[in-house]
A and B are shown apart, each in its own frame.
Chain A
């Protein structure tokens, strides 16, 4: 495969995109998980599906649009969906989590209608659902690269505000932080990264790349920065390991990536249990 990486452009595209996604998804995922918004990724990925289906449908009826990368309309839908979630969270102040299933089912409903209008599934759509290595184009890579740069700069500039907002939203608002605008910027970044990630892992599995590495690192990390760092490490191990394994074993890459992330999660839970037990027995011996 290493040889193939030098030979085939599609493998390069897949690997470089994978490295970017393995970095971006857990980075944003940390903020999502600690704010208990884990399901937002699921909702937005389903909205992205509607956008992609819409793009494929338009492609069919308007030849002019046939060159359009479905990723773009997917992103537009994803960002639109994130804005709706924010609006709905305002409407249902006491049931804020309700916004997520509303948007999730709305996205699926719309997506299914577009798919049926386009006369059902085709292979292209299948690759968006479950991810595909061969489908990643050079343009996809560039789009995701630009998104990565934008996200990293934003996170660095707004780090302390995002931290305070995540840790203690009440206090953030009381101390006069522009909580609304910052949250708004954050949610748009999430929408973009979700749309970008689905090329590799597929819509069904995007949210796992945002939550599983974080779920693992939260068990063992000390502090917030270390949680981010470990999440990214776990994310990269999952993506790169998954791409290699799927290449050699001829498995679906999205599924393999997710299963490696699950394996890491299980290992951290076992590790934590083991060290805790050790600490207790040591403490008992000393006392």
Chain B
């Protein structure tokens, strides 16, 4: 399951008005990997995600999804997206977990098509995968932030995407549950073969669960697998954010940049 990159980015730059947010990004996300892009606030993480999702157009450079150029890419249902905003929804909304997850099938089913029995099975499967099956009849507002986030991941999973993109998924997850949350993602990656891409600013808990790490702060530094990332950290670069600033000030192309 090697070879084909699910996301391929070449020489991508993006600027808002005068400020350059992303400069010369090169990245290839291998099929079946679990990649974490880490970076401080304002490092361009969300912009990069929006570019990958086609919500913004790159000014220079190119993005290929599933081997196809972005402008020709049509199979958006292959990509599941869990936005950071997912946990700022109206918590008083009177919907059960089951109803929320089944709403993930809306587009796939299409207009004027009704929800069928086998669709219920898909919903239960998705809930099982995130460990929330027994909550299916609870109202979404009664759950904790971390449980709600799992439900939103199930909503993205229910349409059976090959790639799942998560924007700061641990915002709103209690500190003691963060590790279990990442373990759940790692299991999704391992057992279901879903390629995962997440952006986050917490470096500590992430490294032992993911397969690849990249650091972003305007420039992207790909560290290959997570072992290599840890080695970098232990080489006196544990103060990660400091490291990033350091690299930028030298403007050098990091040896680990993947392409």
Contacts and interface: CB of A to CB of B under 8 A. Distances in A.
Nearest to A225: B99
A93 interface: no
A171 interface: yes
Contacts of B111: 157-158, 161, 178
A174 B81 contact: yes
A150 to B, nearest CB: 15
B34 to A, nearest CB: 23
A120 interface: no
18 contacts: A157-B112, A160-B105, A161-B111, A166-B93, A167-B89, A168-B86, A168-B89, A170-B83, A171-B86, A172-B106, A174-B53, A174-B55, A175-B107, A176-B107, A177-B106, A218-B92, A221-B94, A222-B96
Given A174-B81, A222-B139, A167 B107 contact: no
Interface of A: 34, 36, 157-158, 160-161, 163-164, 166-168, 170-172, 174-178, 217-218, 221-227
Interface of B: 53, 55, 76, 81, 83, 85-86, 89-90, 92-96, 98-100, 102-103, 105-107, 109, 111-112, 115, 137, 139
Contacts of A166: 93
A223 B99 contact: yes
Nearest to B85: A170
Nearest to A160: B106
Given A160-B115, A167-B95, A175 B90 contact: no
Given A170-B83, A176-B76, A223-B139, A160 B94 contact: no
Contact of A34 (B90, B115, B139): B90
Contacts of B102: 160
A224 B107 contact: no
B115 A223 contact: no
Pick the 5 closest A-B CB pairs, nearest first: A223-B96, A227-B94, A175-B107, A224-B95, A164-B103
Nearest to A34: B93
A163 B94 contact: no
Given A161-B111, A176-B76, A223 B95 contact: yes
Given A170-B85, A222-B137, A223-B139, A161 B106 contact: yes
A171 B93 CA distance: 15
A163 B92 contact: no
B79 to A, nearest CB: 10
Contacts of B85: 170
Nearest to B96: A223
A168 B115 CA distance: 19
A151 to B, nearest CB: 16
B95 A175 contact: no
B99 A168 contact: no
B83 A171 contact: yes
A224 B94 contact: yes
